[in-house]
Amino acid sequence: MTGSFNLPKPEFDIEATVERAMALINRTLQPSLEDAQKVVDKVRAAKPLVAPGDLVSQVTRGNRLRAARAVSYSLPSIVPGVGTAISAAAVPVALREVLKEAVSASIKVGLLHDRDLTDPELTRIAVLLVLTEGAAKLDKTGKIRPDALLGRHASLLGQAASYDALSALTAEERQEIAASQSEILRAWALAVGPPLLAGLLPFGLGPMAAANYMQYVLKGTITAAERVFGPASPTPVTVEQIPESEVREDGLEG
């Protein structure tokens, strides 16, 4: 008997998945400043004479590792069809975990540059600016338009030390950005979500591809955070790729 074995192709609606994810990811913009400060202080104590920009990679390493692992562990494409169904259901949770690590990494970059992040409203809109820039760079469809998300404040995207400009905004102007939070998070999820389709490939090949892509997503977030929170004359930041062997290991870093 002859014939070929064809793997079933999953039906996957990224729009519907993002809608399900919104209920989860809307609650992830309040990371612990205390925990983030502990990580920053530990790295600084070990290298007190090193410039902040040169410590960004080390400070955010745990976030990148957790994001990669969250995706590789959440998308277990073990059996064609069955594994695909498990993976599709896990995508909203994976998006939430990646967003949580992206926000945490952004906060650490801000603390590394001695930014005062005790004002939750100011910190929130700064993170939203970071996420908007990340979504715009990841978007391959042209549907994500920063000017539609941020209005007149879209000019802050890509501007070095834009945190200073955010600090100078009036309460009304800050609210204009905060009011777009749901739209910004949805745009971010739509930009980040489609590559998670790689996690629907069989036999575990997809989850690791998706995990590597999440490292790329976090690198973009960290670069944007460096622009927002860093100095007016920033220097290039190098963020190393974490090897797949470490992503596969058990145990998480801080």
Where does the pLDDT of residue 25 fall: very low under 50, low under 70, confident under 90, or very high at 90 and above? Answer: low
Is residue 125 in a domain?
Answer: yes
Q: Does 235 score more than 90 pLDDT?
A: no
Is residue 101 in a domain?
Answer: yes
d(CA 63, CA 103): 9
Is residue 221 in a domain?
Answer: yes
Lowest mean pLDDT among 6-10, 183-187, 228-232: 6-10
Where does the pLDDT of residue 234 fall: very low under 50, low under 70, confident under 90, or very high at 90 and above? Answer: low
Is residue 124 in a domain?
Answer: yes
3-state class percentages of the chain: helix first, strand second, coil last, to nearest 5: 70, 0, 30
Q: Does 161 score more than 90 pLDDT?
A: yes
Domain range for 81 is 14-232
Mean pLDDT confidence for 213-230 = 93
d(CA 188, CA 162): 20
Q: What is the pLDDT of residue 20?
A: 63
Q: Does 119 score more than 90 pLDDT?
A: yes
Is residue 246 in a domain?
Answer: no
Task: Count how many domains the chain has.
Answer: 1
Q: What is the pTM of this model?
A: 0.81
For 233, half-sphere exposure in the C-beta direction (CA atoms, 13 angstrom radius) is 0
Mean pLDDT confidence for 54-69 = 92
Give per-residue pLDDT as tens, 197-214. Answer: 555 554 445 667 777 888
Structure tokens at 173: 């102007």
Where does the pLDDT of residue 86 fall: very low under 50, low under 70, confident under 90, or very high at 90 and above? Answer: very low
Where does the pLDDT of residue 164 fall: very low under 50, low under 70, confident under 90, or very high at 90 and above? Answer: very high
Whether the CB-CB separation of 130 and 117 falls below 8 Å is answered with: no
Structure tokens at 138: 């990841």
Residue that wins the pLDDT comparison between 247 and 48: 48
Q: What is the pLDDT of residue 7?
A: 36
Distances (CA, A) of 249 to 99, 187, 208, 209, 245: 22, 32, 12, 16, 6
Q: Does 59 score more than 80 pLDDT?
A: yes
Is residue 1 in a domain?
Answer: no
The number of beta carbons lying within 10 Å of the beta carbon of residue 89 is: 13
Where does the pLDDT of residue 223 fall: very low under 50, low under 70, confident under 90, or very high at 90 and above? Answer: very high
For 202, half-sphere exposure in the C-beta direction (CA atoms, 13 angstrom radius) is 9
Q: What is the pLDDT of residue 47?
A: 93
d(CA 169, CA 31): 23
Residue that wins the pLDDT comparison between 193 and 172: 172
Ranges 67-71, 91-95, 137-141, 150-154, most confident:
150-154
Mean pLDDT confidence for 113-128 = 93
Residue that wins the pLDDT comparison between 209 and 186: 186
Mean pLDDT confidence for 170-198 = 86
For 199, half-sphere exposure in the C-beta direction (CA atoms, 13 angstrom radius) is 31
Q: Does 107 score more than 70 pLDDT?
A: yes
Is residue 23 in a domain?
Answer: yes
Q: Does 82 score more than 80 pLDDT?
A: no
Sign (positive or negative) of CA dihedral 55, 57, 61, 63: positive
For residue 225, the one-letter residue type is A
**All residues at 6 or more sequence positions from 247 whose CB lies less than 8 Å from its CB, including other chains:** 65, 68, 69, 72, 208, 211
Q: How far is CA 205 from the centre of its chain?
A: 22
Is residue 135 in a domain?
Answer: yes
Q: What is the pLDDT of residue 118?
A: 93
